Amino acid sequence: MLNIHKLWLLSSFGVVAIVVLYFQNEIARLEENYHKLEYKLSQSHPEARQFFSKSLQKDDENLVVIYNRVPKTGSTSFVGIAYDLCKKNHFKVLHINITANMHVMSLSNQYKFAQNVTRWDEVKPALYHGHMAFLNFDRLGTISKPIYINLIRKPLDRLVSYYYFLRNGDNFRPHLVRKKHGDKMTFDECVEKSQPDCDPTNMWLQVPFFCGHAAECWKAGSSWALQQAKHNLVNHYLLVGVTEEMLDFISVLEAALPRLFKGATEHYLNSNKSHLRQTSSKLEPAQKTIEKIQQSSIWRMENELYEFALEHFKFVKRKVLLRETNSVDQIFFYEKIRPK
């Protein structure tokens, strides 16, 4: 009798579980159908579609994007894709070349650059790129502002890559002789001997690039500069990706800015631009070297910015690339527009 009672209970629980799963699936299916219907309604709503379309097209043709690329973060590969797409997608790509590769502009040039970029309608839409620090257009009297994007890399990886780049060059211009050509000292040996080329202070570059043109930005180890860099990253950049996840960075950009980056993901996957500029003869540092570098406050601050950017990028891409469980493609549209 007891066994029959247990069997009855198990059967009842099984039936309840099946019913719950059924209704959960039905709810999910209805929600998906609702979103599809919502999208179809937005497409069939003439006044909403026309209003949105005209506004979007006008803004797209005035689009200006600035990529203030940090050296040795994969920027050449990314820019190569932009140059390949610019003719097909009908936009301009312009390289910002500053005297002696300076990363900070004089005050007069800051003003001239800001006015020029926002008013040069003949080249719009446009992507500007160059090794320059973030420039805040809010204080330069421009009516419109460009959209900023960037890539950031693990600070020690970037330093090691640059160390060997100065000695061995890369596969982008393999015959160009770099200024440290012939120096065979490894990065491990350099750190062991405390040489200036591998000094952790040399990592202080991504923080000032995001911090900007203030003097304090370029004082190695400035906590104010680190906080300002974080502030700018969140408040002034449309997207900051990480070198290690270049493909996702490009995919998010294509979704967010199709006017410039339509077809970028497919092009990246099917072309040779994914590894356009690799440092030659680069040796990975030993664990002992890594531990010594990580004792530096400069590394800790640069790494804090990197981890901050990585976490923010993961949050953004989950929403765009639908990496979350039960996520659906998000849309928005306008309705009840009055007066007609």
Name the residue with higher pLDDT: 20 or 247: 247
Q: What is the mean pLDDT of residues 130-136?
A: 97
Name the residue with higher pLDDT: 149 or 50: 149
The CATH number of 63-320 is which of 3.30.365.10, 3.40.50.300, 3.30.300.30, 3.40.50.720? Answer: 3.40.50.300
pLDDT at 42 over 60: no
pLDDT band at 319 (very low <50, low <70, confident <90, very high): confident
pLDDT digits (tens, 9 = 90+) for 5-15: 666 666 666 66
Tell me, yes or no, if 129 is annotated catalytic.
Answer: yes
Relative orientation angle of helices 297-320 and 246-256, to the nearest 10 degrees:
50
CA–CA distance, 287 with 296 (Å, rounded to integer) = 15
Task: Determine the pLDDT at residue 22.
Answer: 67
Task: Determine the pLDDT at residue 60.
Answer: 87
Task: Determine the pLDDT at residue 340.
Answer: 78
Number of neighbours of residue 42 by Cβ within 10 angstroms = 16
Return the domain boundaries, the chain.
63-320
Lowest mean pLDDT among 54-68, 86-100, 220-234: 54-68
pLDDT band at 334 (very low <50, low <70, confident <90, very high): confident
Q: Which of 103, 129, 213, 236 is catalytic?
A: 129
Q: Across the chain, what does the average pLDDT equal? A: 85
Tell me, yes or no, if 5 is annotated catalytic.
Answer: no
pLDDT at 203 over 60: yes
Q: Which of 5, 95, 103, 131 is catalytic?
A: 131
Task: Determine the pLDDT at residue 36.
Answer: 47
